[in-house]
Structure 1
């Protein structure tokens, strides 16, 4: 008996969408990838180029171009299409354009009969994810933004350089908005299971030059550092999309810092924001509520207020 194919549609065949597809192909995450783009020829060209990787990979992934009409039987739909920031803009400056694009994408996908899980990378990702939730009418666990997953990875990379260890030996999260108001929950950052604040207290001389405020700022600004030098960031976020999708399709139950709709967690509701969550075949299986200290709680609530204020100015999903 043939197993049911694991199908993923990627909306947006630009740098982020194609990097995500390339990452999934090389990790054998799914059986089929459908590339969708506003320009069909671009989606077709990317699908052709990606399909030529198969000789050099462990398994074969079927890659082809399609349209919104073909999305009905997909397990996961990744939204990587969105507006690109101009110099001097923040991610929130993209909101008006992003709102129009999001409605143009989600409405026909729902009409196709799609009933799987949305994974969103388009910026501003917290608000776009909220819009996808509202426009689709899906339960909140089936809408996942990349949120601060990439920021948490950047944090771990920075700390791995300081402590000369593998980034995967660092556990911790950037939380809040994937943007200017994000913060690092330092009270929950551990290295090899040991709290980083304890390490710094015990080895003051050894790490006397380590500035946690500076590390948090570098974490927040890393995307812009890349963007201003080459015009885009795509390998990291493409891999984050693949990582989240793999946890869904494999029912991995990995804990990832994603943008999730809150309904009472952290004392917040009706807002979508970066928090650690268990990702399974159901989507967001459970939001992990960390016991934040007073300063972190203030920063989290401030970030929620910023996102909510921008959400309240939207009319596109009504």
Structure 2
């Protein structure tokens, strides 16, 4: 069975996760980013790690409707606003995660969601509350 692993956010963390997925043979990967060109560019870079005879694929988009059928969604997104103190970004990050939660709820409501964005606990809480997914389907992962 081929799984669809979708990664929202194609910065350093999202692209690294995508590379690890394909280099370990973990099925199809979809990269979603607010900038379509960035998602496509990262998907092309990551695709170079897939053997030519592989049955798996990597693609990039800015269209959340392509999340349909995702089994796992990893959220590695962040806002493009950077301030001196991370706590100043919380409001922007919370609004971002609520928006992403609504889209995931709409397009892939049966997916398991892994959140690696910061502030991890806050974003995991708001994602779960906004999406209304069961707690066991929304997992915050951090170091």
TM-score when normalising by structure 1: 0.42
1:11 is matched with 8
Query: What is the correspondence of 1:1-318 to structure 2 with a 5 Å cutoff?
Result: 4-28=1-25, 30-55=26-51, 61-66=56-61, 67-83=63-79, 85-87=82-84, 89-90=85-86, 92-147=87-142, 150=143
TM-aligned CA deviation for residue 7 of structure 1: 1.0
Structure number with higher relative contact order (C-alpha < 8 Å, ≥ 6 residues apart): 2
TM-aligned CA deviation for residue 41 of structure 1: 1.2
**SS of aligned partner of 2:95:** helix
1:64, 1:14 → 2: CA distance? 15
TM-aligned CA deviation for residue 94 of structure 1: 2.2
| Alpha-carbon RMSD | 2.0
Q: Between Structure 1 and Structure 2, how many residues are aligned?
A: 141
Larger radius of gyration: 1
1:86, 1:25 → 2: CA distance? 34
Task: Structure 1 unaligned segments of length 5 or more: list them.
Answer: 151-318
The list of structure 1 runs, each at least 4 consecutive aligned residues, that deviate by more than 3 angstroms after superposition, is 58-61, 83-87
Task: Structure 2 unaligned segments of length 5 or more: list them.
Answer: none
Are the counterparts in 1 of residues 72 and 113 from structure 2 also a CA contact under 8 Å? yes
